[in-house]
């Protein structure tokens, strides 16, 4: 699939939120339970910078997915570690969009002063874990039953990538 990757713009936020909220309501990809509001999404976007980008994947002007690098933790000693996230429209999964987004973000992280990147993935999300392993992430921790969603306890896998 030939897609265009670019920096997100304010006009993309409604679609970014639609894609994300689809996972909030129907998946363990995020442990958020209530849909993200546009006010919250706008604030999230306003807090972005060159070091903490949001990118989108589009085909024929249709936004198919997005990814972001965020602060891993607020404390100063974590400044060289980022958290990476990728979400793809559920109707276009398994077409390589997530891989393209993740590869692009890893490339962006290379020149941004990061020492490592963390991806936090629900343990039942095997395709996401496999994709991260394919691109050089390693499993560094498993937290047992730390999330509760859809009437089940969920484990979380922490994966790390050295930039």
DSSP 65: E
b/e code 67-106 from CB counts within 10 Å (16+ = b): bbbeebeeeeeeeebbbbbbbbbeebeebebbebbbebbb
- pLDDT for position 2: 77
Q: Where in the sequence is the domain holding 97, given as residue range(s)? A: 4-162
Total structural domains within the chain:
1
Summarised one tens digit per residue, pLDDT across range 104-155 is 999 999 889 999 999 999 999 999 999 999 999 999 999 999 999 999 999 9
pTM of the model: 0.94
- Is pLDDT above 70 for 158? yes
What CATH code is carried by the domain that includes residue 64? Answer: 3.40.630.30
């Amino acid at each position: 699939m030939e897609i265009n990757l670019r920096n997100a713009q304010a006009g993309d936020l409604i679609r970014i939120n639609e894609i994300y909220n689809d996972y909030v309501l129907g998946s363990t990809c995020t442990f958020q339970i209530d849909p993200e509001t546009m006010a919250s999404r706008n604030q999230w976007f306003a807090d972005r910078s060159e070091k903490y980008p949001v990118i989108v994947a589009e085909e024929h002007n249709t936004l198919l997915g997005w990814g972001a690098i965020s602060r891993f933790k607020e404390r100063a000693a974590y400044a060289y570690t980022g958290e990476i996230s990728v979400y793809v429209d559920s109707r276009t999964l398994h077409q390589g969009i997530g891989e393209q987004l993740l590869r692009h973000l890893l490339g962006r992280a290379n020149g941004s002063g990061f020492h490592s990147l963390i991806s936090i993935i629900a343990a039942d999300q095997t395709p996401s874990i496999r994709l991260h392993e394919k691109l050089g992430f390693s499993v560094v921790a498993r937290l047992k039953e730390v999330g509760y969603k859809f009437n089940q306890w969920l484990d979380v896998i922490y994966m790390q990538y050295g930039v």
